[in-house]
Structure 1
């Protein structure tokens, strides 16, 4: 499966709406058997299109602190380091990186104290300025539209088309645009493994 068809897109829309829907429920909607739906969902997970199944919590129904949007202006070239520093920070829900390298952070923090929880990010010494705005409401409406599969060859970076190949190496799946890229990658992987 190198392309998303309308059935794949419909399954993704249904799962975005209710990630707990059973394969039987999904199958009835898309006119497939439950095992066929299971196979499609498994392939979408293997390809990384579906990363995980999660719960969308309505934060307005919970009291745990102050929900804020934070804009971090960082030293050019340091957005990855700051983003990684925010990975395990309690309270941080989303981190977005803009094209100009700013980080937009959404999170909930006790007593509006953001300095203490964000200390790992400040320790990078890459934050130039911080702007904090309290959030009063939020909505999440994921849209799939007519999305197509956008796999990239791990060897050369080209788009993986229907002629592409994949390989599972040491339990991890890799996508390639052609067999020669796969062969080069496997050869280099073996050389590095032997040298380690």
Structure 2
């Protein structure tokens, strides 16, 4: 398995700047052919590095409510469920979970009514308290700089290095840290598939 190289990072940076950029424009910058760029982007999608091409809406240009930053102190082990619920809410833009299991999110809420958003989105018994700050400005500047792949083995959970293995099974791509994990996973996968068919 090949790690990210400078060309991959440049392609990612160009797509972060403008996800609608054509393969030809990218090819001119990285000195590859457009089909080679398309192959690299497809590989990055298969690896899960690129999850999709999304629209970045500047909500400051829309009149829909007050932009806020909210920090939630939640019950132990509730952070993941709370973050998932918030991630599904239309008003919420970004959700973060801290190592201390706090949930921080940005949202645009009508009349600044954060309590109504929380009541309609999360189990309030999981929220111990919260703090709201009105945002005056926001920017989002993701970067890949010198990033390397950090895939997790689908069998044992270890980090997959460039020497790792990749296997496609029934249209899904799986990553493994070694041949042993790949063999073990495939064997169990085949057993489960045979059991489901039988």
Could you tell me the TM-score, scaled by structure 2's length? 0.93
> Residue 25 of structure 2 aligns with which residue?
25
Query: How far, CA to CA, are the matches of 1:38 and 1:57 in structure 2?
Result: 26
User: How many Å separate the matches in 1 of 2:122 and 2:143?
Assistant: 34
Question: Partner of 1:62 in structure 2?
Answer: 62
**Cα deviation digits, residues 108-127 of structure 1 (max 9, x gap):** 11111122222254425211
* Kept in 2: contact 1:81–1:124 (CA 8 A): no
8 Å contact from structure 2 (residues 86, 122) kept in 1: no
Q: Is the 8 A contact 1:90 1:117 kept in 2?
A: no
Q: Which residue of 1 aligns with 2:88?
A: 88
- The answer on whether the counterparts of 1:2 and 1:149 sit within 8 Å (CA) in structure 2 is no
Aligned partner of 1:99 in structure 2 is 99
Judge conservation of contact 1:70–1:130 (CA < 8 Å) in 2.
yes
Distance in 2 separating the partners of 1:131 and 1:167: 45
* Aligned pairs (5 A) from 1:146-185: 146-185=146-185
**Number of equivalenced pairs:** 196
- Find out whether 1:16 has 2:35 as its counterpart: no
Which residue in 2 is equivalent to 1:132?
A: 132
State the distance in 1 between where 2:180 and 2:73 align: 42
Q: Aligned partners of 1:87 and 1:55: how far apart in 2?
A: 16
Structure 1: 5+ residue stretches without partners: none
- Show the counterpart of 1:44: 44
Q: Give distance in 2, aligned partners of 1:114 and 1:192.
A: 46
Instruction: Check conservation: 1:97, 1:103, Cα contact below 8 A.
Output: yes
Question: Are 2:64 and 2:108, in contact at CA under 8 Å, matched by a contact in 1?
Answer: yes
Which structure is higher in helix share?
A: 2
Q: 4+ residue stretches of structure 1 with deviation over 6 A?
A: none
Instruction: Give the RMSD, CA atoms, in angstroms.
Output: 1.5
Q: Give a deviation string over 1:7-59, Cα, whole Å, max 9, x none.
A: 11110111111111000000001000000000000000000111111122222
* Unpaired stretches in structure 2, ≥5 consecutive residues: none
